[in-house]
Chain A
């Protein structure tokens, strides 16, 4: 039985560009699919087809069991759409925005009013409810936009790059909301160019590039397909780098990579935690002081590079700053150069200056 979001053989061409080139999607009810890919991969086009905004050139689409191409208006009653650019009217207050959307979802005036009040309360916007959205911060606007998508508690939600450009606190708040929605039974399709986001939220991930889905599976499956674990060591003293390198060369299962300026060494290993323990013992035996050591799974960055030969985005590690909408045609090229130059196993090169908090979270997630 097809899932709550189902698409088969979607093709959509804009002029010479094949935005979608045979995309199949199947999201079981109550789960999250992360559609992961760089700008221009076709993620947004896919969402626009699924949400009745554009018609595909060919293909079959069903949302909540309803044929989207035949019964678009019925589908619209069952979906919520929250976008990359918070689509709220900045000259209306938060309350007026939500009431308007409620009425256009065909709620009665009274129900729309009641629902707007509830949502403002739940999204922490009650104090700002009667101010125009123009005065809201970026995070507040995004929350209002999400609230607007939830006015009728739609069973199927589409979120197109919901956290692009948000700071970590607001991003975390939106993630919490999404997780609560899914816990309540909502089916969610999420597009993102942040590998970390897909990793964190999605039950299954589809990697999109150039209008095609080039890989799909759970986060773990995708990582397994890419390769084994990596031991990562940061030594305290630069002088110890050569000694540490000899140890890791002996126990590792591949080439040791050394980053002089961060005093970081990484090596692919076959044997997991046992090998990690061995590395620690040997470092200790030679009295090499370490700042950090860990066994990490390949990140989705590694996965993306190994699948496509280029990084997902030149700014993957910095969702904090947000991606510039027009990354420019040379951005992916530069990233690709980096990817091939450092080999596929080296994901941390890009994350070298990422804030520690994020890395820590990711580790915790993986150790569970």
Chain B
């Protein structure tokens, strides 16, 4: 082992800190995203297990609950329920990517990799942005597989390719905004194990107290507004609308987000990103490992 090092000549003390521009931030984020994508490719179990749960939900909900749930406008028709259900499953699946972000970042913290990054002259937000980009790619792949499974059990989109595409874009936006919540959780807990459960638990009430699996009409009166103002419900309704999966007689509940589901979803997602990205990047800068 021989190391020949040429140490650069001393530079005069700076009068301002080396600034990091948008271009560098974008490049740093891509470098980190590439790293996380390579990891995903080398641990395919994670991606595969990430697919098992939504596929199970598709099958279980379609065939077990299919004939028993009364959806407004279609009654107890199992095949209508299957179409109606898919928006909920798609949306739930993208939000579950949150747990992956939490666990991944917590693991990086624990292994000292975050420290290595923090001591490098790289953009402060790039480690988290890169991680969320990589999760976005994984989410997109998951959606493709899930759409195929859904197609097999009888789901179709009815309002054209453009609207269907918009539906998938909206799902990706939803998933992306939620990975920032996951990033904050990952930076806040002490171990990857805690991050995995901490990243998942809150998603159950969030996704079930919604119109994803059952209509809000059948819920107790006090719970209905919670479900209807839930950002997750807005996304589910928006996706159903865009895929043309609402039954013919569907009348949207009075809550504003469900009256304007696409707009409401975009607003919700932008607000979530703005808040949680700010908090997560601040937490990253102060992380003490």
Contact = CB atoms under 8 A, between A and B. Distances in A.
Interface of A: 48, 51-54, 64-67, 70-74, 76-77, 79, 81, 83, 85-89, 91-92, 96, 100-101, 103-106, 122-124, 132, 148, 150, 153, 155, 173, 176-177, 180-181, 184-186
B132 to A, nearest CB: 17
Given A73-B121, A184-B7, A100 B31 contact: yes
A88 B43 CA distance: 16
A16 to B, nearest CB: 16
Given A66-B14, A87-B113, A104-B122, A155 B31 contact: no
A73 B285 CA distance: 12
A74 B119 contact: no
A92 B34 CA distance: 11
Interface string B12-38: 011011111000100110011011001
30 contacts: A48-B288, A53-B119, A53-B289, A64-B10, A65-B10, A66-B13, A73-B18, A73-B19, A74-B14, A77-B18, A81-B115, A81-B116, A87-B113, A88-B113, A89-B113, A91-B39, A91-B42, A91-B43, A92-B39, A104-B32, A104-B120, A104-B122, A105-B120, A122-B2, A150-B5, A173-B1, A176-B1, A177-B3, A184-B4, A186-B7
B112 interface: yes
Contacts of A132: 42
Contact of B17 (A53, A73, A155): A73
Interface size class of B (residues with CB under 8 A): 35 or more
B117 interface: yes
A132 to B, nearest CB: 7
Interface of B: 1-8, 10-11, 13-14, 16-20, 24, 27-28, 31-32, 34-35, 38-39, 42-43, 111-113, 115-122, 126, 288-289
A76 B20 CA distance: 12
B288 A54 contact: yes
Contacts of B18: 71, 73-74, 77
Contacts of A83: 112, 115-116
A323 B8 CA distance: 36
Contacts of A100: 31-32, 34-35
A313 B34 CA distance: 42
Contacts of B35: 89, 92, 96, 100
A103 B29 CA distance: 11
A18 B288 CA distance: 15
Given A53-B289, A73-B121, 12 more contacts: A51-B119, A65-B13, A71-B18, A89-B39, A91-B42, A100-B31, A103-B31, A104-B31, A104-B117, A105-B121, A124-B1, A184-B3
Contacts of A81: 115-116, 119
Given A71-B16, A91-B42, A180-B2, A101 B10 contact: no
B5 A76 contact: no
Contacts of A105: 120-122
A208 to B, nearest CB: 19
Contacts of B3: 122, 150, 177, 180-181, 184
A295 B274 CA distance: 69
Given A53-B115, A85-B111, A87-B111, A73 B20 contact: yes
Q: Which of A74, A92, A132, A150 has the most CB of B within 10 A?
A: A74
Contacts of A87: 111-113, 115-116
Contact of A85 (B19, B20, B112): B112
A41 B215 CA distance: 60
Contacts of A48: 115, 288
A83 B14 CA distance: 28
Nearest to B9: A155
A27 B73 CA distance: 78
B1 A123 contact: yes
B288 A186 contact: no
A185 B120 contact: no
Q: Which 9 A-B pairs have the closest CB atoms?
A: A87-B112, A76-B121, A184-B5, A71-B17, A87-B116, A104-B122, A91-B39, A155-B7, A74-B18
A71 to B, nearest CB: 4
B119 A91 contact: no
Contacts of A104: 28, 31-32, 117, 120-122, 126
A81 B218 CA distance: 59
A217 B58 CA distance: 71
A53 B286 CA distance: 8
Contacts of B43: 91
A249 B4 CA distance: 53
A126 to B, nearest CB: 11
B121 A106 contact: yes
A186 B1 contact: no
A91 B44 CA distance: 12
A74 B16 CA distance: 9
Contact of B6 (A51, A122, A153): A153
A92 B20 CA distance: 26
B86 to A, nearest CB: 33
B55 to A, nearest CB: 25
Nearest to B3: A180
Contact of B5 (A52, A64, A148, A181): A181
A122 B2 CA distance: 6
A182 B120 CA distance: 22
A205 B289 CA distance: 27
A180 B112 CA distance: 26
Contacts of B8: 153, 155
